[in-house]
Structure 1
């Protein structure tokens, strides 16, 4: 198959509605630009209205034909918070009566360990849990669209070859797995730990996309779910991560060997729009694609990423976590324990008093 060229090979998308998360720069920006340039009405998400308006301004400057067409819309969502993702999806449902293309692109990389106010690791919350809540809130509309004549509904989740950085002991059978430091406390913000947590989230992206396809197939829904690795891309987020590790002086050299953001967006645009996907649906649905639009061979996926058992485990626990957050505002936390001493009859914990309280997460 010849290499897919987004500029020339995306078909006419007039009448289609797309939604791209995390779209103020990099892959998300390029994805929005190409979808809108080819006729789709595109909703982009950013963390603030100012960023959204600036993104739309830049898109219209790049293609003045988009100005005053109404094809560029936005939602303000903080994907580190499940409640924000849920509210953003509900806002979209109030605005539109169809959704043809959903690209779950929002994510972070290179972050120190932090718990969100909802009780999750910020990396895992942003890269997986919020996307799960967002997608499932939109799923009834995606299904309704798929039932319309001539529909071609696709759901694309951006993963990474970094999924192989997930610890071999990774599991998803407890809430604590969703706030796993992936390291001893003393090394929690080491490069190895940071990329292990990122790998854990990117592994979840692949498992989520494949399990979603299994469920769609079981329900007889002709929706295509695909995860993709965009390649090594010179995005602003990747540059920030490299600089945060003290290697900023190497970025001019390092970036020379990376793909441009448009090249990086090629595989997700192929997955989202190429007629080839629909013509050969059994080859592509539920699969993990690598540049440029190729189904990843066995050696390009970790054993964990191939596990249907782990995918089902992840789905079930994510449902539970999202449910807890939406009902109670956060997931249950491990109760504080006292480090030493006899049981305190006031608290039921062991220790010498309040000065020894510590929270084990």
Structure 2
């Protein structure tokens, strides 16, 4: 386990641009708050609701020095809509010439059956497809940043928020590729649907790490956190009766502040080198910086390739 305290262990972020999806609440908001304390050039939070985002910005800005308050910027983005994602990416690239960290934090968990605007099962479409498209559209900016003189090798990051619930993905295949446009993914339960979306987050990071060695691409499990994901439709949903011991153990062990440590560490900590603790591209981390707890399916190289090829085919032709 890596010792990490965001107050002391985040280095100066001067000149850096960071984008966090779903940063209006929960883990994303906490990550935004911690990073904002360390002088980034710009911090973008994406959300569907402008008023909620502006409330978040006001509350965080109230804790920051006056000179840091203008660094936080709102970017409207609905991850269930490709049009919204493309609009957000276009706005970002029109405003910024660099992107140092893309933190794919937003997500939904164990919700009732539904579909995104493009017809994907709602959890897979939001948690994987939405982030995959956003990442694809921002990759040129990330690559350009990584090649900028003076940028430390490996410091440009893509961090996917996954979950230990990747272990709930349907067996034996992990992802129901033939049913990803069914509202119930071929008849599997809501936790299995959530599990396959979180498994996809891991494999997406693995595939990116293989194809873009100039970037550091990782996935993380935040730990057992009590966030807004556990309220609303989830708290009242019948599938709480499934895997009760595991769910209770994973969801109610830490505060949101502690829960954001792993993704914040993955976003800004030094690379692993010379036998020292640090971030390594392509790895799935438990908090904080713990490796080796992936499921067998999460380590399946063939599944990584199949997901990448399937996703790329689905996203073909999607441009800003």
Q: Same fold (TM over 0.5)?
A: yes
CA–CA separation in structure 1 for the residues paired with 2:83 and 2:249? 37
CA–CA separation in structure 2 for the residues paired with 1:75 and 1:273? 22
**Offset from partner CA, 1:315-336 (integer Å, 9 cap, x none):** 1111122237x49xxxxxxxxx
1:292 aligns with 2:292: no
How far apart are 1:52 and its partner, in Å? 1.7
SS in 2 for 1:313: helix
Bigger CA radius of gyration: 1
CA–CA separation in structure 2 for the residues paired with 1:313 and 1:255? 29
1:309 aligns with 2:312: no
CA–CA separation in structure 2 for the residues paired with 1:281 and 1:317? 34
CA–CA separation in structure 1 for the residues paired with 2:251 and 2:106? 24
How far apart are 1:276 and its partner, in Å? 4.7
Show the 5 A alignment for 1:258-297.
Answer: 258-277=253-272, 284-294=280-290, 296-297=291-292
Matched with 2:47 is: 46
Where structure 2 has 5 or more consecutive residues not aligned to the other structure, the ranges are none
CA–CA separation in structure 2 for the residues paired with 1:262 and 1:226? 20
* RMSD of aligned residue pairs (Cα, Å): 2.6
CA–CA separation in structure 1 for the residues paired with 2:249 and 2:199? 25
Report if the CA contact (8 A) 2:261-2:288 is conserved: yes
SS in 2 for 1:42: strand
Query: Judging changes above 3 Å, is the alpha-carbon distance between structure 1 residues 174 and 100 closer, same or farther for their aligned structure 2 residues?
Result: same
**Offset from partner CA, 1:237-282 (integer Å, 9 cap, x none):** 22335522367xx9xx989942111100000111111125477699
SS in 2 for 1:243: coil
How far apart are 1:301 and its partner, in Å? 1.3
SS in 1 for 2:212: helix
Show the 5 A alignment for 1:117-196.
Answer: 117-151=117-151, 152-170=155-173, 174=177, 176-179=179-182, 181-182=184-185, 184=187, 193-196=189-192
Show the 5 A alignment for 1:309-328.
Answer: 309-323=302-316, 326=318
1:198 aligns with 2:198: no
How far apart are 1:178 and its partner, in Å? 4.7
Report if the CA contact (8 A) 2:2-2:289 is conserved: no
Pick from 210, 214, 232 the counterpart of residue 210 of structure 2: 214
Where structure 1 has 5 or more consecutive residues not aligned to the other structure, the ranges are 328-361
Query: Judging changes above 3 Å, is the alpha-carbon distance between structure 1 residues 173 and 67 closer, same or farther for their aligned structure 2 residues?
Result: same
Report if the CA contact (8 A) 2:14-2:39 is conserved: yes
How far apart are 1:95 and its partner, in Å? 0.7
How far apart are 1:111 and its partner, in Å? 0.8
